Amino acid sequence: MVQAPQRTAFSGPALIRLLARLTDVDVPESSQSLSDRLSQWLGWTDAIALSSALNNNPPAVAAGARTFGDAEESECARVRASLASAITGDSVFAAAKRRGSAAQALAQGAPADAPADYAVFRQRYVAMQQSMETGVGNLRGRLRAMLAARTPAMARLAVVDAVMERALSERERSLLATVPGMLAGHFERLRLAEQQTLAGADAETDAPENAATASPATPGAWLDAFRKDMQSVLLAELEIRLQPVEGLLAALRTS
């Protein structure tokens, strides 16, 4: 099995650490502070909106608004579990279910990796990203509405979160859209490594002195490994997307 070259360990989120391990992109960890990076990402209109949200009087709190409680906590947990389940239960990533068909193809003389087209995985990854964006975005909006109904300070926080979402959503979408392309190289490296391993195993088996002791390789194992890796990256991306939701939840629990 091919291994990605060793690089300097990152201390950031799991998604960054995974991509650094699985891809051949060697990007040094940024030395800039979060505030410096945000100043580069926010346009002048975003900066004005953020300043207004922080400095103006907070919006009035509506009377009789829905309160946050166990039912809302359960709904947040349900959305998280549903998105994670969609990733772990997707048929494209279910390696064990495809093993039988791969073995049958080998028995019939078809190449083991004939069905392995990265376009299928890319398409599914993008579909999962769209589901996450919709599910997390809707949940974030509901929590923000609840927060805005609590106290003036919490209403101000809700406005700040709305401004930040509008300001950064396009950049977030653009950056995360590069992930499927980054994983294409990992897909090809794993495929090539198995082809080389199988070719070496065949050569050893053909040699009379090794025929009795050669260990059979497992065709298709690289694809199982890739599916697991792609699942891990998707789950790590989900955690990144849920960070603003976790912040809103923390504020609701303490307000």
Domain residue limits, the chain: 62-254
Residue 53 identity (one-letter amino acid)? A
Q: Is the pLDDT of residue 109 over 50?
A: no
Confidence at 153, pLDDT banded by 50, 70, 90: confident
- Predicted confidence (pLDDT) at residue 96 exceeds the cutoff of 60: no
Residue type, 143: L
210 has a pLDDT exceeding 50: yes
Number of residues that make up the chain: 255
- Structure token digits, residue 221: 């194992």
- Lowest-confidence region among 78-92, 104-118, 173-187, 199-213: 104-118
**How confident is residue 55, by pLDDT bands cut at 50, 70 and 90?**
confident
Give the burial string for 200-218 (b: 16+ CB within 10 Å, else e): ebeeebeeeeeeeeeeebe
Cα separations (Å) of 208 from 177, 199, 205, 214? 51, 16, 7, 10
Q: How far is CA 90 from CA 34, 79, 94, 195, in A?
A: 35, 16, 6, 27
Residue 24: pLDDT over 50 = yes
Question: Residue 192, Cβ neighbours under 10 Å: how many?
Answer: 12
Question: What mean pLDDT, rounded, does the chain reach?
Answer: 80
Query: Is residue 138 within 8 Å of residue 80, measured between CB atoms?
Result: no
| pLDDT of 105 strictly over 80 | no
When mean pLDDT is compared over 34-48, 53-67, 107-121, 174-188, the highest value belongs to 174-188
- pLDDT band (50, 70, 90) for residue 103: very low
Lowest-confidence pick of 95-104, 151-160, 185-194, 221-230: 95-104
CA distance linking residue 93 with residue 125, whole number of Å: 10
pLDDT > 90: what percent of the chain?
Answer: 40
Residues 155 and 255: beta-carbon distance below 8 Å: no
Which of 52-61, 93-102, 206-215, 235-244 is predicted most confidently? Answer: 235-244
Helix (H) or strand (E) holding 20: helix 14-22
pLDDT at 4 over 50: no
CB 147, CB 154: distance < 8 Å: yes
What is the pLDDT, as a whole number, of residue 254?
Answer: 86
CA distances to 74, 84, 150 from 71, rounded to whole Å, are 5, 20, 17
Q: What are phi and psi of 220, to 5 degrees?
A: 90, -5
Query: Looking at the predicted structure, is the pLDDT value of residue 127 above 90?
Result: yes
